[in-house]
Every structure is written in C-alpha cells, then in structure tokens.
Structure 1
Amino acid sequence: MRIAILEDDPNQSLLFQRLLGMGGYEFESFDSIQALMLGLQLGDYGLLLLDWRLPDGTGEDVIRMLRGSLRSEMPVIVVTANDDERDVVRALNAGADDYVVKPPRAMALLARVQAVLRRVRGEQGVSSGRIGRFAIDVEGRDITCEGRPVRLTQKEFDLAFHLFAALGRTVSRKQLLEQVWNNEPGSSTRTLDTHISRLRRKLGLESEAELRLVSVYGFGYRLEKAESGARLDRRMAGVRSDEDLLAA
C-alpha cells in the first residue's frame, strides 16, 4: 500500500518521506494539485498526506475534488503549519480524516496514519507488528515480550521503535538524538547511552539473546538478529565507522 504526499516544500516533503519510510510505508510525493491528480489516475494509493496551503490551491480544494470523484473513500490526513482552529475545522468539514501540525514528530505521524487506516479502511498499519518475541503497538505505545507487557517510559518506547524500525542497520547517535529527543536542551550522547542501557536490560537485548542491541564504536547502535550479527561482526572486523574515517 502506497501513500501519496502532496507537499510543495522540498524540505518538508523529504521529512515526510523519511518518516513514512521509517514506518515501512511506500510513498510517492507530488508538489502540486495538478501533479497529484495525474498521479491518482495512473497509480493506486491507500492514503493521502495533504499540505493545507499549496501553490495552485488549498487542501480544501483537493479534498472536495476527491470526495466528488471515484476516490471519494480515500483517507486524507491534512498537514498544517499551525493549529489554527479555523483551518482544522475547515479541513475536517471538507472531509479530512485527521490532521497533524508541522513539523511532525515521527511517532505522532505514524500513529495518526495507522489510526486512520484502521478506522477508515480496517487496515493494519505496518508500523505495528511482531519481531521475534516482541509485539509492537504504535497506537497504544507499548511493547510486549512473549505476551507480557514491558514497562517503558515514553522516551524508551520511542527509542525502541526507531531501533526496531532500523533492524539490521546501524543508526548513529546523532540520528537517534534528533529522532527521539528532537535536540531538546540538555539531551546528549550520555543521555542516549543511559537510555540504551536501560532498554537493553528491560527488553533483554543482551549479547546472547535472539535479538541483541550492540554498540558500534564511535558511531551509534544496531539492533540485530544474533545469527546475522555474527556475520556482520566478522565482515566489519577492522573497519572503522564513518565518524572515525572522517576524523582520520
């Protein structure tokens, strides 16, 4: 299932693409109403992420076009630069299913997407699912291990989500601080390392586990399956991280 993005700001469009990609969604981006309408004729999309203010019209124009066409049942989430009550009311009255405020946080956006898909079309969003012993529920913001709930703080859950979404890939400390803490004052690599230690203990992601959370020296962290991890460790032996190479 692909998500259509209508956003004329290239930077905002890239942000939405990155966040949706983190949730496992496929997507295609358009920068004008005309381009979107052509794309809808040629492709199949399960949801529209819609900017409210566009160079050739408004989000309200787009929604009314959709609701009066063969795409009348297509769910729409409006993205607005502010939470002005008038714009929100206009969007919902026009037929939008939900809205988010720029700049969106990853967890909030993916939870809204999943909730709309569940409510409107009965689909299960791919941002929730099962990995090994763990079941992740983004909307409920909880993780269970073999059916037992794991008590996590909000930051711990956000951190776990990003690591599970990047399973098998190394995520830099800088990226995790941006995604989870949004560069909040007082956040630091020490803050991240402390949360990683707690998360490793609470979820049992030790070196001998089926899933393990490993440190990549001088760079970041990687959540990996133990079998593939052994091969990665052998392949990466003696190879320095990107930060080490840049510092050399």
Structure 2
Amino acid sequence: MNIACYIRNNAVFEQVQTVLVRTGFVCERFTSDTVLLRTVRRRDFNFILVDVGIDIKDGESVFSWLTCRSGDNTPVMVLSAVQNADWVAEALNAGADDFLIRPFEPVELVARIHAILRRSSTRPARRIIELAGFALDRDTSTFSYRGTPIELTPREFTMAWLFFSSPGVYVSRETIGTAIWGVDSEIAGRTIEQHVYKLRKKLQFGQECSAMIRTAYSQGYRLELHEQEPVREV
C-alpha cells in the first residue's frame, strides 16, 4: 500500500510516517505540491494525504487538481490543525474523501484510511456539474449549454471544469498551470491566457448566456454568472 504525503511540517510528517509504517503502509513524502501533482500523473498511489496546516492555501493547487482530474479515483484525505467548517466544506467539495483535525489518535487515522479505501473500491467514477444552463460531464468530457454541444479541447474542458467547480472564486494562474499542465504560471503564463481567451469566446451565446470569465491580473480568473444556480454534482 503506497501512500503519497504532501506534508511540509517535519514533526507532522514524522508522526504520520510512524503510524503508517507500523500499519504496513509505504509512505512517500512530498514538500512541494507541484512535485506531488507531477508525480501522481506518472505513478500510481493507493492513497494521498494532504496537510494544510493552518492555511487552506497550502492545499489550493491540490484542491484544484481534485476538481479537474478525470479517470483517477485515488482517495484523498486532508489534515489540518484548525477546525474550520468552511475549510472542511471546501476540501470535501473539491473532491477530498475525508478531513481529519490534528492532533489525532493513531488508531483513528488508520481506521479512517481503511474506511475510505473500502468506500473508494465501489464508488462511481461518473461526475456531472449542471450550472446556469451549462452541463459538464467529466466521464465523457462533454460540455453543453441548454442542450447545445460546445466543442472543447481536452485542456479547455479541464479548465472549464475548474471554473465551473468554483464559480465566483478567483483561480490563480499558478493554480491553473499546476492543475492542468503540471507547471507553474511563469512557464505556462501565455498558454493559460490563450486557453482562457478561447474558452471565453466559446462561452458566448449572445445576451441569453450569463457566463463570463473575468480577469484580475493580481488574482487570476473567475467565472461570473448573472443568474447563478446551485451547483449540482452527480
């Protein structure tokens, strides 16, 4: 059982590693979210642990990757030293399977991992977002507006999924670059701008369409909806 651990704090990693090794798991540490995301694209892990410490931004890139990934059902657990309902909701809505507050009892960590693994073996891979007339099907990589198909490239679809998963929230260039290309925004900056431009044009359906991608150069991009409906995920 191979577990990838994105844990930057040495003391926390040592505690987690001790528990996992005693249980018979193989634990591989990552201190960079970029390296973690690049590695899981190339190698298979049975489980992923992400520690966000006291700042939810420490897991931002991983959460963005969770909302975008397709065909990868590797279960993910998030650890944090802060008990915050908004953080828990953000992590779970992004696709995390569990959220554990630390300090924790070793027996609870192990039990939660085993429980998640049991659930993940039977959970469906199909997932759909329906929002403001738009429909995105991650299983088939199809995108439509009120039943009219919109042709997107694989990367455009991944970007659309990222925006429609977090409407009204600014997504940084670094997060987009890491989630889609596995590289930082400095390297992929022009490519990101080109893909946003093309996706923005494909979202234009005249006055009846209420979706718009806004740009804030200090914050990134966000999806704005004039008449926003609740996100429904299947």
In our comparison, the structure showing a higher alpha carbon Rg is 1
TM superposition score normalised by structure 1: 0.45
TM superposition score normalised by structure 2: 0.48
Larger RCO (alpha carbons 8 Å, 6+ apart): 2
